[in-house]
Amino acid sequence: MDITILTEYFGTYMEGFRGTVLSSLMALAGSFLLGALIAVFRIGPLRPLRWFGTGYVEFLRNIPLLLVVYIFYYGPSVLGMPLDGFTAGTIGLAVYTSSFIAEAIRAGIMAVPQGQTEAARSSGLSYSQTMVHVILPQAIRLVIPPLGNQFINLIKNSSVLTIVAGLDLMYFADIINADTYRTFDTYVFVALFYLALTLPLSYGVRVWERRLERKY
């Protein structure tokens, strides 16, 4: 393995690394908020919202991520509002991941004893207040492991941005490979950069889970 590729193109790698980190953080925040909202829709009292939540999850979970990114990349252009590859890719990544997060949070909500909801409502809280202040905090604590797995998958899936010139790590790795023709060496270093992101996150999720277990 030629280490000089890493030293000579370190700045290029880091530019892609920063793009991957930024896209992943934005998509993580967006997918979590959207996923929590869709999870509440799916178990809510209003039938139209339940239908919408179910349709949203089933549609996105059963189509490829690449197709979702293409929808946000080419769709706005048809309407005269084109998005750059980074923006379209990040939005597509967040929307796609939110469908999996919604299912994880919904499972957590269903695992919270029904008495919690009844007690909150009898105390005068509205349905939305009950969800935000009572049910969701408990549900999210219950599903930290699957949520952590989804966040790790999100980081790995961010490589799809390279298809729409999203300025991510894989995009710049393709540029390096085209310049050096050292395909194996180029992408081995890419794998190390991804591991630098996913391994600490995996460890952090385990630590957080253990702390919550001791607390509760």
Q: Tens of pLDDT along 67-95?
A: 999 999 999 988 888 899 999 999 999 99
* Predicted local confidence at residue 128, as pLDDT: 82
195 vs 147, which has greater pLDDT?
195
Q: Look over the chain and give the mean of its residue pLDDT values, rounded to a whole number.
A: 89
**pTM for the complete prediction?**
0.88
Angle ∠(87,175,65) on CA atoms, nearest 5: 40
* Predicted local confidence at residue 115, as pLDDT: 83
Distance CA 183, CA 186 (A): 5
Phi and psi based region of residue 2 (left: phi greater than 0; alpha: psi -120 to 50; beta: remaining): beta
Give the list of residues 6+ apart from residue 130 with CB closer than 8 angstroms, or none: 117, 120, 121
213 vs 146, which has greater pLDDT?
146
* Predicted local confidence at residue 216, as pLDDT: 58
Residue 79's CB is within 10 A of a number of other CB atoms, namely 7
Q: Which fold would CATH assign to domain 4-215?
A: MetI-like fold (1.10.3720)
* Predicted local confidence at residue 123, as pLDDT: 83
144 vs 158, which has greater pLDDT?
158
pLDDT at 109 over 90: no
pLDDT at 151 over 80: yes
Phi and psi based region of residue 137 (left: phi greater than 0; alpha: psi -120 to 50; beta: remaining): alpha
Residue 186's CB is within 10 A of a number of other CB atoms, namely 23
52-62 as b/e: b if 16+ CB within 10 A: ebeebbeebee
Answer yes or no: are the C-beta atoms of 13 and 76 closer than 8 Å.
no
> pLDDT tier at 99 (50, 70, 90 boundaries)?
very high
**Three-class SS of residue 109?**
helix
pLDDT at 161 over 90: yes
Percentage of residues of the chain with pLDDT beyond 90: 57
Every domain of the chain and the residues it spans: 4-215
Angle ∠(144,146,150) on CA atoms, nearest 5: 110
Percentage of residues of the chain with pLDDT beyond 70: 98
Q: Where are the alpha helices (DSSP H) in 112-216?
A: 114-122, 127-130, 136-142, 144-157, 169-180, 183-215
pLDDT at 121 over 70: yes
* CA-wise closest residue to 194 among 173, 209, 179: 173
Identity (one letter) of the amino acid at 156? K
